[in-house]
């Protein structure tokens, strides 16, 4: 009885992930469209850079280095986990150990990336402010930005070490910042890169441009905080609605397990439970999408 239930749960999880990836592929924000139109006339690199491998890109954005450094160790541990799963729970354990570690790794990388990029955006105004003060003291734009990177703190300093290396290898500063912004896919970093490109091509007051960018980033952060405070009740309601069925099922299994097991052993009750599980998954996805749109 456990095997079909595990397979159904895995299928529902994979279905949810596939729907999420499909929606993410179709979604393109208006901000990205505006930025792409503004950057259409900007100078591009003479040689096209090779596309990054998806796994390597995820690890770099999360600050975990390159996956090839410990690839053998991770694959060995994964194979050992599959072997133990097969020995303890036959083919069901093997299937769980085949799917669970990659999913857990993907979730861990996503959470780590979100925390890291949030901290980097919080540190960006300080870096820009240091750059403005260096410009007003008479330094060039490139020296001011590189000096601000050196004076900043982690994780921004470690992440922007990529910019320092590219500049030392001969890439001009706007293209190095643009490469950094495309790696992390954040509007604030893209606006920074676009401002440097415009200043590099057409000239102008770089300190005034960076001061306006600092003001814009801080206003966006303040607006995001206000929106989060105003929608706190909505988010809490969604969490309660999503977790209430799971809490009730857990309560029944702890206090009266025969009630749920009796439904599972009956053909009609089994159909009801599977239907309820499917509705729970789709309802949770709908609530998640509604929260993302707020």
Per-residue pLDDT of the chain (294 residues; tens, 9 = 90+): 545 554 565 556 666 666 766 666 556 555 555 555 555 544 444 333 444 457 777 878 877 777 666 666 777 778 887 788 777 767 767 777 788 888 888 888 888 888 998 898 888 889 999 989 988 888 888 888 888 888 888 888 888 888 888 888 888 888 888 888 888 888 888 888 888 888 888 877 888 888 888 898 888 888 888 877 887 788 888 888 888 888 888 888 888 888 777 877 888 888 888 888 888 888 888 887 777 766
**Residue 61: how many other CB atoms lie within 10 Å:** 20
Q: What is the pTM of this model?
A: 0.62
Q: Please, what is the end-to-end C-alpha distance for the chain in angstroms? A: 41
Sign of the Cα pseudo-torsion (224, 111, 155, 57, in order): negative
Residues contacting residue 159 through CB under 8 Å, at least 6 positions apart = 63, 116, 120, 180, 184
Q: Which two tokens stand for residue 272?
A: 């009801």
DSSP 169: T
Q: Which two tokens stand for residue 176?
A: 């190095």
Residue entry with tokens 């905080």: 225
**Closest C-alpha among 242, 248, 240 to residue 273:** 248
pLDDT of residue 18: 62
Q: Distance between CA 245 and CA 273 in Å, rounded? A: 12
Q: Distance between CA 229 and CA 40 in Å, rounded? A: 37
DSSP 68: G
Helix axes 267-293, 257-265, angle to 10 degrees: 110
Residue entry with tokens 């734009």: 141
CA 188 to chain centre: 15
Residue entry with tokens 């991770």: 74
CA 35 to chain centre: 20
Q: Distance between CA 178 and CA 145 in Å, rounded? A: 14
Helix axes 141-151, 173-184, angle to 10 degrees: 40
pLDDT of residue 68: 65
- Is residue 44 within 8 A of residue 172, CB to CB? The reply is no
Burial 105-124 (b: 16+ CB within 10 A, else e): beeebeebbeebbeebbebb
Residue count (the chain)? 294
DSSP 62: T
């Amino acid at each position: 009885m456990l095997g079909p239930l595990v397979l159904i749960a895995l299928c529902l999880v994979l279905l949810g992930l596939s729907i999420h990836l499909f929606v993410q592929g179709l979604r393109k924000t208006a901000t990205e469209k505006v930025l792409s139109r503004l950057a259409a006339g900007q100078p591009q690199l003479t040689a096209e850079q090779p596309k990054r491998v998806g796994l390597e890109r995820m690890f770099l954005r999360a600050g975990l280095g390159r996956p090839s450094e410990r690839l053998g160790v991770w694959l060995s541990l994964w194979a050992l986990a599959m072997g133990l799963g097969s020995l303890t729970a036959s083919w069901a354990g093997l299937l769980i150990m085949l799917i669970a570690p990659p999913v857990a790794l993907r979730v861990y990388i996503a959470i780590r990336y979100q925390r890291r990029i949030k901290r980097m955006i919080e540190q960006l105004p300080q870096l820009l402010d240091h750059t403005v003060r260096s410009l007003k003291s008479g330094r060039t734009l490139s020296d001011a930005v590189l000096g601000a990177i050196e004076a900043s703190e982690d994780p921004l300093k470690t992440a922007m070490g990529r910019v320092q290396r590219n500049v030392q290898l001969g890439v001009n500063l706007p293209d190095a910042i643009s490469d950094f912004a495309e790696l992390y896919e954040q509007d604030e970093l893209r606006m920074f890169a676009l401002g440097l490109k415009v200043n590099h091509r057409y000239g102008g007051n770089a300190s005034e441009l960076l001061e306006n960018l600092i003001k814009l980033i801080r206003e966006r952060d303040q607006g995001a905080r206000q929106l989060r405070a105003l929608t706190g009740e909505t988010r809490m309601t969604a969490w309660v609605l999503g977790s209430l069925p799971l809490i009730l099922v857990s309560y029944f299994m702890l206090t009266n397990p025969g009630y749920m097991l009796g439904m599972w052993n009956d053909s009609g009750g089994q159909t009801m439970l599977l239907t309820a599980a499917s509705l729970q998954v789709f309802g949770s996805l709908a609530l998640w999408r509604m929260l993302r749109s707020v």
